Structure 1
Amino acid sequence: MSQQFIELGEGYGDVYELLEIIKTNQQRFHQAFILTSTKEDKKVASLAVALKPVGESKFMPIYICREGLPFREDSPSQRQQMFENSIAQLGRKAVVVEIKHSSIFSEHKLFYQYVIGIMRLHHYIPALT
Protein backbone atom coordinates (compact mmCIF):
# COMPACT_ATOMS: atom_id res chain seq x y z
CA MET A 1 0.00 0.00 0.00
CA SER A 2 1.35 3.40 -0.90
CA GLN A 3 0.82 6.40 1.34
CA GLN A 4 1.22 10.04 0.41
CA PHE A 5 0.84 13.27 2.33
CA ILE A 6 -1.48 15.90 0.91
CA GLU A 7 -0.59 19.22 2.49
CA LEU A 8 -3.53 21.52 3.07
CA GLY A 9 -1.28 24.34 4.25
CA GLU A 10 0.45 25.70 7.31
CA GLY A 11 -2.09 28.28 8.35
CA TYR A 12 -4.82 28.25 10.92
CA GLY A 13 -7.67 28.30 8.37
CA ASP A 14 -6.57 25.01 6.84
CA VAL A 15 -7.64 23.17 9.99
CA TYR A 16 -11.27 23.83 9.08
CA GLU A 17 -10.75 22.09 5.73
CA LEU A 18 -9.19 19.13 7.57
CA LEU A 19 -12.21 18.96 9.88
CA GLU A 20 -14.53 18.87 6.86
CA ILE A 21 -12.46 16.08 5.28
CA ILE A 22 -12.87 14.06 8.49
CA LYS A 23 -16.62 14.76 8.62
CA THR A 24 -17.29 13.83 4.99
CA ASN A 25 -15.03 10.75 5.02
CA GLN A 26 -16.05 9.11 8.30
CA GLN A 27 -16.39 5.69 6.68
CA ARG A 28 -12.82 5.94 5.33
CA PHE A 29 -11.22 7.14 8.59
CA HIS A 30 -8.10 5.16 9.49
CA GLN A 31 -6.09 7.20 12.04
CA ALA A 32 -5.58 10.77 13.24
CA PHE A 33 -2.25 12.25 14.30
CA ILE A 34 -0.92 15.20 16.24
CA LEU A 35 2.71 15.43 15.14
CA THR A 36 4.74 17.64 17.46
CA SER A 37 8.16 19.15 16.79
CA THR A 38 10.39 21.90 18.13
CA LYS A 39 12.14 24.74 16.35
CA GLU A 40 14.01 27.47 18.20
CA ASP A 41 12.50 26.43 21.54
CA LYS A 42 8.96 26.71 20.16
CA LYS A 43 6.89 23.56 20.11
CA VAL A 44 4.46 23.29 17.19
CA ALA A 45 1.89 20.75 16.05
CA SER A 46 0.91 19.30 12.70
CA LEU A 47 -2.58 17.86 12.51
CA ALA A 48 -3.07 14.93 10.15
CA VAL A 49 -5.60 12.29 9.24
CA ALA A 50 -5.04 9.07 7.26
CA LEU A 51 -7.93 7.73 5.20
CA LYS A 52 -8.48 4.19 3.99
CA PRO A 53 -8.09 3.57 0.25
CA VAL A 54 -11.12 3.84 -2.01
CA GLY A 55 -12.40 0.58 -3.50
CA GLU A 56 -9.60 -1.61 -4.86
CA SER A 57 -7.09 1.24 -4.77
CA LYS A 58 -3.82 0.75 -2.91
CA PHE A 59 -3.43 4.50 -2.21
CA MET A 60 -3.82 5.87 1.33
CA PRO A 61 -3.99 9.68 1.49
CA ILE A 62 -2.76 11.45 4.62
CA TYR A 63 -4.08 15.00 4.82
CA ILE A 64 -1.96 17.35 6.91
CA CYS A 65 -1.84 20.90 8.22
CA ARG A 66 1.91 21.21 8.73
CA GLU A 67 3.41 22.93 11.77
CA GLY A 68 0.86 25.73 11.86
CA LEU A 69 -0.27 25.50 15.47
CA PRO A 70 1.53 26.16 18.74
CA PHE A 71 1.56 23.02 20.90
CA ARG A 72 1.04 23.00 24.64
CA GLU A 73 0.13 19.74 26.33
CA ASP A 74 -1.41 21.47 29.33
CA SER A 75 -3.62 23.85 27.30
CA PRO A 76 -4.30 22.81 23.69
CA SER A 77 -5.17 25.51 21.19
CA GLN A 78 -8.80 25.95 20.15
CA ARG A 79 -8.09 24.42 16.74
CA GLN A 80 -6.37 21.41 18.27
CA GLN A 81 -9.36 20.94 20.58
CA MET A 82 -11.71 21.12 17.58
CA PHE A 83 -9.59 18.47 15.81
CA GLU A 84 -9.60 16.19 18.85
CA ASN A 85 -13.37 16.67 19.32
CA SER A 86 -13.97 15.78 15.67
CA ILE A 87 -12.00 12.55 16.12
CA ALA A 88 -13.77 11.81 19.41
CA GLN A 89 -17.13 11.94 17.60
CA LEU A 90 -15.88 8.91 15.65
CA GLY A 91 -15.06 7.13 18.91
CA ARG A 92 -11.32 7.46 18.35
CA LYS A 93 -8.32 9.41 19.70
CA ALA A 94 -5.52 11.11 17.81
CA VAL A 95 -2.07 9.60 18.24
CA VAL A 96 0.53 12.12 19.46
CA VAL A 97 3.98 11.55 17.94
CA GLU A 98 7.13 13.63 18.53
CA ILE A 99 9.06 14.10 15.27
CA LYS A 100 11.84 16.26 13.85
CA HIS A 101 10.87 19.68 12.51
CA SER A 102 10.52 19.87 8.72
CA SER A 103 13.05 22.72 8.52
CA ILE A 104 15.95 20.31 9.04
CA PHE A 105 15.13 18.55 5.76
CA SER A 106 16.28 20.00 2.44
CA GLU A 107 12.92 19.17 0.80
CA HIS A 108 9.41 18.64 2.11
CA LYS A 109 9.32 15.35 0.19
CA LEU A 110 12.15 14.01 2.39
CA PHE A 111 10.33 15.17 5.52
CA TYR A 112 7.18 13.33 4.49
CA GLN A 113 9.15 10.14 3.69
CA TYR A 114 10.65 10.36 7.20
CA VAL A 115 7.21 10.74 8.82
CA ILE A 116 5.72 7.87 6.78
CA GLY A 117 8.63 5.71 7.95
CA ILE A 118 7.83 6.50 11.59
CA MET A 119 4.14 5.80 11.07
CA ARG A 120 4.88 2.45 9.43
CA LEU A 121 7.44 1.53 12.09
CA HIS A 122 4.84 1.99 14.85
CA HIS A 123 2.12 0.27 12.76
CA TYR A 124 -0.08 3.40 12.66
CA ILE A 125 -0.39 2.89 8.89
CA PRO A 126 0.03 -0.32 6.86
CA ALA A 127 3.38 -1.41 5.50
CA LEU A 128 4.32 -0.82 1.87
CA THR A 129 3.09 -3.80 -0.17
Structure 2
Amino acid sequence: MTQHFIKLGEGYGDIYELLKLIESMPDRVERLLALHTIKNDEERTSIAAVFKPTTKGQFQPIYICLEGIPKPDGSSNVRYDAFKEISGKLNQPIIELVVPPSNTYHEEQLYYQQLIAVLRLNHLIPSR
Protein backbone atom coordinates (compact mmCIF):
# COMPACT_ATOMS: atom_id res chain seq x y z
CA MET A 1 0.00 0.00 0.00
CA THR A 2 1.22 3.45 -0.88
CA GLN A 3 0.57 6.23 1.60
CA HIS A 4 1.25 9.88 0.85
CA PHE A 5 0.60 13.20 2.48
CA ILE A 6 -1.15 15.67 0.22
CA LYS A 7 -0.47 19.19 1.43
CA LEU A 8 -3.37 21.54 0.89
CA GLY A 9 -1.50 24.53 2.27
CA GLU A 10 -1.18 26.47 5.50
CA GLY A 11 -3.76 29.19 5.12
CA TYR A 12 -7.27 29.92 6.22
CA GLY A 13 -8.90 28.81 2.96
CA ASP A 14 -6.92 25.58 2.83
CA ILE A 15 -8.48 24.41 6.07
CA TYR A 16 -11.94 24.94 4.64
CA GLU A 17 -10.93 22.96 1.56
CA LEU A 18 -9.92 20.07 3.85
CA LEU A 19 -13.26 20.31 5.65
CA LYS A 20 -15.07 20.23 2.30
CA LEU A 21 -13.13 17.12 1.26
CA ILE A 22 -14.14 15.43 4.51
CA GLU A 23 -17.79 16.47 4.09
CA SER A 24 -17.83 15.30 0.46
CA MET A 25 -16.49 11.82 1.23
CA PRO A 26 -17.42 11.00 4.84
CA ASP A 27 -17.47 7.26 4.13
CA ARG A 28 -13.78 7.38 3.12
CA VAL A 29 -12.55 9.16 6.24
CA GLU A 30 -10.60 6.74 8.40
CA ARG A 31 -8.96 9.07 10.93
CA LEU A 32 -8.80 12.74 11.85
CA LEU A 33 -5.49 14.00 13.21
CA ALA A 34 -4.24 17.06 15.05
CA LEU A 35 -0.45 17.22 15.00
CA HIS A 36 0.86 19.72 17.54
CA THR A 37 4.31 21.25 17.36
CA ILE A 38 6.38 24.31 18.22
CA LYS A 39 7.65 26.15 15.15
CA ASN A 40 9.61 29.39 15.39
CA ASP A 41 8.73 29.65 19.10
CA GLU A 42 4.99 29.42 18.38
CA GLU A 43 2.70 26.53 19.20
CA ARG A 44 1.15 25.41 15.90
CA THR A 45 -1.20 22.63 14.84
CA SER A 46 -1.50 20.73 11.60
CA ILE A 47 -4.86 19.14 10.94
CA ALA A 48 -5.11 16.11 8.72
CA ALA A 49 -7.56 13.52 7.45
CA VAL A 50 -6.51 9.97 6.69
CA PHE A 51 -8.73 8.54 3.97
CA LYS A 52 -9.37 4.85 3.35
CA PRO A 53 -7.23 3.36 0.60
CA THR A 54 -8.52 3.22 -2.95
CA THR A 55 -9.53 -0.23 -4.11
CA LYS A 56 -7.53 0.09 -7.30
CA GLY A 57 -3.89 0.83 -6.70
CA GLN A 58 -4.15 0.66 -2.88
CA PHE A 59 -3.31 4.36 -2.52
CA GLN A 60 -4.04 5.92 0.87
CA PRO A 61 -4.09 9.73 0.87
CA ILE A 62 -3.52 11.78 3.98
CA TYR A 63 -4.67 15.35 3.38
CA ILE A 64 -2.93 17.90 5.61
CA CYS A 65 -2.97 21.60 6.36
CA LEU A 66 0.58 21.94 7.61
CA GLU A 67 1.09 23.97 10.77
CA GLY A 68 -1.69 26.26 9.61
CA ILE A 69 -3.41 27.16 12.87
CA PRO A 70 -2.42 28.18 16.38
CA LYS A 71 -2.48 25.27 18.81
CA PRO A 72 -5.90 25.16 20.50
CA ASP A 73 -5.58 26.13 24.14
CA GLY A 74 -9.19 26.05 25.28
CA SER A 75 -10.05 29.49 24.00
CA SER A 76 -12.02 29.98 20.81
CA ASN A 77 -10.20 28.95 17.66
CA VAL A 78 -12.59 29.16 14.70
CA ARG A 79 -10.65 26.87 12.37
CA TYR A 80 -10.00 24.17 14.96
CA ASP A 81 -13.58 24.46 16.21
CA ALA A 82 -14.81 23.77 12.66
CA PHE A 83 -12.57 20.67 12.57
CA LYS A 84 -14.00 19.54 15.93
CA GLU A 85 -17.52 20.13 14.66
CA ILE A 86 -17.01 17.89 11.64
CA SER A 87 -15.38 15.32 13.92
CA GLY A 88 -18.58 15.26 15.97
CA LYS A 89 -20.80 14.99 12.89
CA LEU A 90 -18.83 11.97 11.67
CA ASN A 91 -18.52 10.48 15.17
CA GLN A 92 -14.80 10.32 14.44
CA PRO A 93 -12.48 11.33 17.31
CA ILE A 94 -9.55 13.63 16.66
CA ILE A 95 -6.30 11.83 17.43
CA GLU A 96 -3.77 14.28 18.82
CA LEU A 97 -0.01 13.77 18.60
CA VAL A 98 2.98 15.95 19.42
CA VAL A 99 5.47 15.94 16.54
CA PRO A 100 8.61 17.87 15.60
CA PRO A 101 8.16 20.91 13.34
CA SER A 102 8.54 20.49 9.60
CA ASN A 103 11.49 22.88 9.45
CA THR A 104 13.69 20.40 11.36
CA TYR A 105 14.01 18.50 8.07
CA HIS A 106 15.84 19.79 5.03
CA GLU A 107 13.08 18.56 2.74
CA GLU A 108 9.37 18.50 3.41
CA GLN A 109 9.13 15.02 1.86
CA LEU A 110 11.46 13.66 4.57
CA TYR A 111 9.17 15.14 7.18
CA TYR A 112 6.17 13.37 5.67
CA GLN A 113 8.07 10.08 5.58
CA GLN A 114 8.81 10.49 9.28
CA LEU A 115 5.13 11.21 10.02
CA ILE A 116 4.07 8.11 8.07
CA ALA A 117 6.47 6.05 10.17
CA VAL A 118 5.02 7.52 13.38
CA LEU A 119 1.46 6.83 12.22
CA ARG A 120 2.38 3.25 11.32
CA LEU A 121 4.12 2.63 14.64
CA ASN A 122 1.04 3.86 16.46
CA HIS A 123 -1.19 1.62 14.30
CA LEU A 124 -3.06 4.64 12.96
CA ILE A 125 -2.37 3.61 9.37
CA PRO A 126 -1.54 0.11 8.14
CA SER A 127 2.00 -0.97 7.40
CA ARG A 128 2.67 -1.89 3.83
TM-score, normalization by structure 2 = 0.95
Report deviation, 1:76.
Answer: 5.0
Give the partner amino acid of 2:105.
F
Distance 1:8 1:67 in 2: 11
**Any stretches of 5+ residues in structure 1 without a counterpart?**
none
SS of structure 1 residue aligned to 2:92: coil
Moved over 4 A (4+): none
Distance 1:76 1:103 in 2: 27
- The aligned counterpart of 1:81 is 81
**Any stretches of 5+ residues in structure 2 without a counterpart?**
none
Further displaced range: 38-47 or 58-67: 38-47
Deviations 1:38-70 (A, max 9, x none): 023310000100100122331100000000101
* Identity within the alignment, %: 38
Distance 2:2 2:19 in 1: 23
**How many residues align structurally?**
128
Give the partner amino acid of 1:47.
I
Distance 1:74 1:16 in 2: 21
Where does 1:9-28 land on structure 2 (aligned, <5 Å)?
9-28=9-28
